A and B are shown apart, each in its own frame.
Chain A
Amino acid sequence: MATELQTELAPERAAPKPAQPERGSAPANKPARAGRGALAIAGEKLIEFVIRLCGISAIIFVFSIFFFVFREAAPLFFQKHEPPAQPEAVVERHADDHSPAAKKFALKEFLFSKEWYPTSQSNVRFGVLALIVGTLSVTALAMIIAVPFGLGAAVFVSEFCGGKIKETLKIVIELLAAIPSVVWGFIGLTVMNPIIQDLFHAPIGLNMLNGAILLALMSVPIMVSIGEDSLKAVPDSFREAGLALGATRWQLVYRVLLPAAKNGLLAAVLLGVGRAVGETMAVLMATGHAVNIPFVTADGSFNPLFIFEPVRTLTATIAAELGEASEGSQHYRVLFLIGVLLFSMTFIVNLTADLIIRGIKKR
């Protein structure tokens, strides 16, 4: 379609040329102009094509990632009792080694069972409910800590401090964002662990709280820098108008700037959520990595001290187990299905955010 448009446009652009001789300009100029025109048109075509490609590439990437992850997981739904991808000899050898018995995969069990025994000899179970709960609860707790801190810091950096303090803070916050997650995990293991044990007399320091604090620390810098950008994008005329009406700085922030920047601030929070959901190494090291639903005690009642329970997340499970699972095995495919699940979760988070923003805009 683009090329059609171009060919339609091209004669129009060429059309004025016959009229030019009337101006009596130097005839030597004309061929040069015509040549440049054709080149410009070709260049424009090229640029338009490249830009189109750039725009579409994002969609292509997302779909291809989804496709390749899902392709690894898909045989789960189509195989009957044995993984057909594996040569028979391998299966037999595995059978001699008392490898996990391949049994029919059930999506219902996958989503709603809390039993995760992927390498059991006799009783293989692929229930990720506990892992989903682990991911969601650690993320939620992290956000409860990070959102007030992150947005508060963004407001402070953007509105309440100036000059050198602002520059220093921004540099330090960016430095915080640059710390590798394995270092955070290390801090969780060696620093936070004893602190939590001493402070709360918790039996283990590697638990949901530990992971959530690390995740909060990791997502705050993103929230601050995106949040600060979105506050900075509020035109100064709003600030002047608000202050000229006699608003104090704080009144200005919560009556004018927060409503004006709410889309950007929401984006900041969601990027933080995205970081927290997707974070792997730190939570693998700091949350205790035990398949456990923290809200329920052993006898089935509600556990009020759930933040001191160890949990395991979806991402940590993939990272810890994918290297051990033999390629093409049911375990291997289930781990990829967890990838699909994570993908869907982030998709839902983004979609919700989009709908919320649209809802705000409609008003």
Chain B
Amino acid sequence: MHPPAKHVEVSNLRLSYGPKEVIHGITFDIFKNEILGIIGPAQSGKTSLLRCINRTIEFSADAKVQGTIKVEGVDVRRQNVYALRRKIGMVAPLPVGLPLTIYDNVAFAPRCAGVTAKSDLDGAVEKCLRQAALWDEVKDRLDSLGTKLSGGQQQRLTIARALSHQPEILCLDEFSIAIDPVTTMRIEDVLKELRKEMTIILVTNLTQQARRLANRTMFLWNGDIIELDSNQVMFSDTPANRKTYEYVNGIFG
């Protein structure tokens, strides 16, 4: 079995906000078409890590990034930032419905990328909304404001939006925080399907979700990788690090 292709390579990544360092030099790879689960308590640097990958970290004026992140072998800082962000779909923990209609929310990214034909946009919108398990609920009111949807629907709208530019990497940052368990399971099924098309980074507080979905899981704690291994190892009784076992089984600290 030949080793899978590396999609994202993170090497010696250090991140500090002002004088406070939050990621202390971590190195790992993400393979093509895998689901990488990232677990860890609050303040462990999970969200910051995602923001480094799509360079939205640059919005924080005091953030300082050292080390390199390569996407498809090229340093993210050498890539066109807009093209890079179109390659990466990002779903935030709390839904950010742009103050636009449902249709415009999903059509936003394709339009920014230069798609103008109505038929193309219609097709993309329907496909993404179906993938996010939202189409049936909103197909009759695509022209109403996205912000009028319920919290869970808005979250699925942001998932649809993240898929709308056909990203190669999909970053999900605790996507299920505002969604009911039934819908969560539906979206998890969708993610399993999407894995064929893209690499998925799944940051989650639900260790069971990482266990269900991920191929490999990374345990991040206080800006350091405690352990990164396949799920068979991570969720077994004998992971390499005792802390992993304790965290996964809820007897941490």
Contact = CB atoms under 8 A, between A and B. Distances in A.
Q: Is B a genuine binding partner of A? A: yes
Interface in B73-101: 82-83, 85-86, 88, 90, 92, 96, 98-100
A135 B211 CA distance: 71
Given A238-B98, A259-B100, A363-B145, A245 B56 contact: no
B86 A246 contact: yes
Contacts of A246: 82-83, 85-86, 109, 112-113, 165
Interface in A235-286: 235-248, 251, 255-256, 259-260
B57 to A, nearest CB: 10
A247 B99 contact: no
Contact of B85 (A235, A236, A239, A245): A245
Given A245-B165, A246-B113, A237 B108 contact: no
Q: 4 smallest A-B Cβ distances: which pairs?
A: A246-B86, A245-B109, A241-B96, A246-B85
B161 interface: yes
Interface string B160-187: 0110110000000000000000000000
Interface string B24-44: 000000000000000000000
Contacts, number: 67
Given A244-B85, A245-B109, A256-B100, 12 more contacts: A235-B96, A241-B98, A242-B98, A243-B59, A245-B164, A245-B165, A246-B82, A247-B112, A248-B82, A251-B112, A255-B100, A255-B111
A318 B3 CA distance: 86
B54 A245 contact: no
Interface of A: 235-248, 251, 255-256, 259-260, 363
Contacts of B109: 245-247
Interface residues of B, number: 26
Interface in B81-138: 82-83, 85-86, 88, 90, 92, 96, 98-100, 108-109, 111-113
Given A251-B112, A363-B145, A243 B56 contact: yes
Contact of B90 (A235, A239, A244, A251): A244
Contact of B92 (A241, A247, A363): A241
A203 B195 CA distance: 75
A236 B98 CA distance: 11
Contacts of B158: 241
A244 B145 contact: no
A244 B111 contact: no
B56 A244 contact: yes
Nearest to B100: A259
Contact of A256 (B54, B83, B98): B98
A246 B112 CA distance: 7
A259 B86 CA distance: 22
B174 to A, nearest CB: 15
B85 A243 contact: yes
A2 B83 CA distance: 61
Nearest to A241: B96
A318 B88 CA distance: 63
Given A240-B56, A363-B145, A245 B99 contact: no
A183 to B, nearest CB: 39
Contacts of A239: 59
A236 to B, nearest CB: 7
A288 to B, nearest CB: 45
A260 B109 CA distance: 17
A243 B81 CA distance: 9
A356 to B, nearest CB: 16
Nearest to A246: B86
Contacts of B86: 245-246
Given A245-B165, A246-B86, A256-B99, A236 B108 contact: no
